[in-house]
Amino acid sequence: MPYARMSTNDSRRVAALRHQLYEQPRWLFVGWTDPISASVPRHWAFFVGHAEDTAYGMRYQIVKSTKSGLYALDVSPGQMDGFAGCYKVGKIALRVEGAFAANSYGGLVLDEVNERNSSPSGSAADKTNDQTWVMWMLECLERNQLVEVGSADRPALGGQQLITCRIPGPIEIADDVLYANAHHSVSHMAPDFAAAFKECLHMIRQVLFTTTAQPFLISGSGTLGWDQARHTFRVSANLVEPKDDVLVLNSGYFGDAFADCLQVYGANVDTLRAPLGAAVDIAELEAALARKQYKAVTVTHVDTSTGVLSPIKDVAQAVRKVSPNTLVVVDGVCSVASEEIRFDEWDIDVVLSASQKGIGIPPGLSIVMASERAMKVFHARSSPVTSWLPIMQAYDKGSAAYFATPPTNLIWALHASLSTITKSSPSLEERFALHKSASAYVKQELAALGLKQIPLKPEFAANGMTAVYFPEGVTASDVVPQLGKQDIVIAGGLHKDIKEKYFRIGHMGITVVDRSRGDLTKVVEGIKSVMQALPAKS
């Protein structure tokens, strides 16, 4: 078999496969949903046969297309009463593209499925063949190349084999997370969903290094977290009521937006604005806290508009030193899971984040973590509100509860991503180090081209993204379309003062953790080629 050369000793890849095909049941092909119980495309017969592999705890289901006469394969977990062994169904068709197609493995690529005893007493040879088959499927999944049989014109699942999305969110998504996001529909009250939700709440605590804080996972954007942290604060503690004094530390566009949003809800907002490319000076913060008692201080950990990293540990220490009862609220949308945040140790009160950046899943989840101090403020508020708190507390205990329907598929995706982040190699500390290494690589390569960063000092530069000025006389229209021709997508400027003068690159999540994908090299080399092709200045 041409795939027999693949190693079966790579425990990380086997673990990833087990998650993709065992813990998260799904069809392997675009457009398919629930194994056995759901309807399939009209030209597919329902099923031809089943096989069970006890060595890996997986079940294979064979279906046949009435249009093309080809077979296809579904893999899902679970036991089948009264069944042992495998139906002999002839050849199975899986269409693969890219490297496999180049090696003539497209079309009918699996040899005849032989009858075998899949019971625990099966022979060693059977087990070896099973492993080889499983590893071959993993190779397809890792390359993201499986598509529906008979649909050669359809892009590979996820559609990511061509476009390199190098904006600072949404980021590229790992294949196992894409497959988890394609989980069949389930009730948000189902026991298995409640169990997954509970584990997500536990794992997001791990990501933020807290054991005592209350997490909230709510449908919405990262900016929804601002609303959640102000007037009603439905997913965490109520921080701000009308006429409360709030100090906003501003290092870019999102500091402005946070201040505007607070004012909409009636807060009295003061702003400490850092120079463009810098974080707010800690001495200035301490002086402001000494002049006035604030209900809360807000800080954007990484402002996506400028790539500026604010020292939130130092901010929290300054607040505790001068105004111990003031709440410290961190906008961590562009930092969670790519920058270190030690919630308990640094004595932070609230971290707001979202799903589409360092967390590494599609947009649509607002993530909030609230300290015990912040929760006391919530319970003491003068105007009661309807709260998500009982819902989160129920899920935290493994029980389902209802206030509004959660985004079930995003929760499955979050479960897959957080499982990798918290339980697999690299560790969280290693993940942060990888982000620093990737950031240094990108910034050094761009500096070698003569491109200047927005952050004024290295300590102000985020590790999950890079923001640099275009060369003099060059605009986004000179660069972005040319990169697009190389299937590379970057982000233009966002800060109102320099919007047309710079661009931004994201380097978070799977792109950083799995450098073998070549995403960073591709974008750096692409930028080099575009810059070198620009007309010489007269």
Mind listing the pLDDT tens digit of every residue in the chain (538 residues)? Answer: 222 233 334 445 444 544 444 343 333 332 222 332 233 333 333 333 334 444 444 444 444 444 444 444 444 433 333 222 222 222 233 332 222 222 322 222 232 222 232 333 344 444 344 444 444 444 444 443 333 323 333 233 333 344 788 999 999 998 778 878 878 888 989 998 999 999 999 999 999 999 999 999 988 765 554 454 443 343 233 577 889 999 999 999 999 998 988 888 788 999 999 999 999 999 999 999 999 999 999 999 999 999 999 999 999 999 999 999 999 999 999 999 999 999 999 999 999 999 999 999 999 999 999 999 998 888 777 666 557 787 888 889 888 887 778 999 999 999 999 999 999 889 999 999 999 999 999 999 999 999 999 999 999 999 999 999 999 999 999 999 999 999 899 999 999 999 999 999 999 999 999 888 889 999 999 999 999 999 876 5
Q: Tell me, what's the pLDDT at 311?
A: 99
Looking at residue 365, the DSSP 8-state letter turns out to be E
5's tokens: 């050369």
268's tokens: 């009295």
Residue 366 φ/ψ region, left for φ over 0, alpha for ψ in the -120 to 50 degree band, beta for the rest? beta
Q: Tell me, what's the pLDDT at 419?
A: 93
> How many residues in the chain?
538
Q: Tell me, what's the pLDDT at 179?
A: 75
Domain ranges of the chain: 11-157, 176-423, 428-533
Q: Tell me if domain 176-423 and domain 428-533 are identical in fold.
A: no
Q: Give 11's Cβ-side CA count (13 Å radius).
A: 2
CB atoms within 10 A of CB 473: 10
**CB contact at 8 A, 72 and 50:** no
Q: Tell me, what's the pLDDT at 135?
A: 45
Residue 296, φ and ψ in degrees, nearest 5: -155, 150
474's tokens: 């060059």
C-alpha 361/C-alpha 365 separation (Å) is: 9
Residue 41 burial class via C-beta count within 10 angstroms: exposed 0-12, middle 13-18, buried 19 and up = middle
Nearest of 234, 289, 293, 288 to residue 265 by alpha carbon: 234
CATH class of 176-423: alpha beta
The DSSP secondary structure of 8-35, one letter per residue, reads S--HHHHHHHHIIIIIS-B-SSTT--ST
Q: Tell me, what's the pLDDT at 537?
A: 65
Q: Tell me, what's the pLDDT at 379?
A: 78
- The structure's pTM equals 0.71
Task: Pick one of 3.30.470.10, 3.90.400.10, 3.90.1150.10, 3.40.50.300 as the CATH number of 428-533.
Answer: 3.90.1150.10
Q: Give 90's Cβ-side CA count (13 Å radius).
A: 9
Q: Tell me, what's the pLDDT at 157?
A: 35
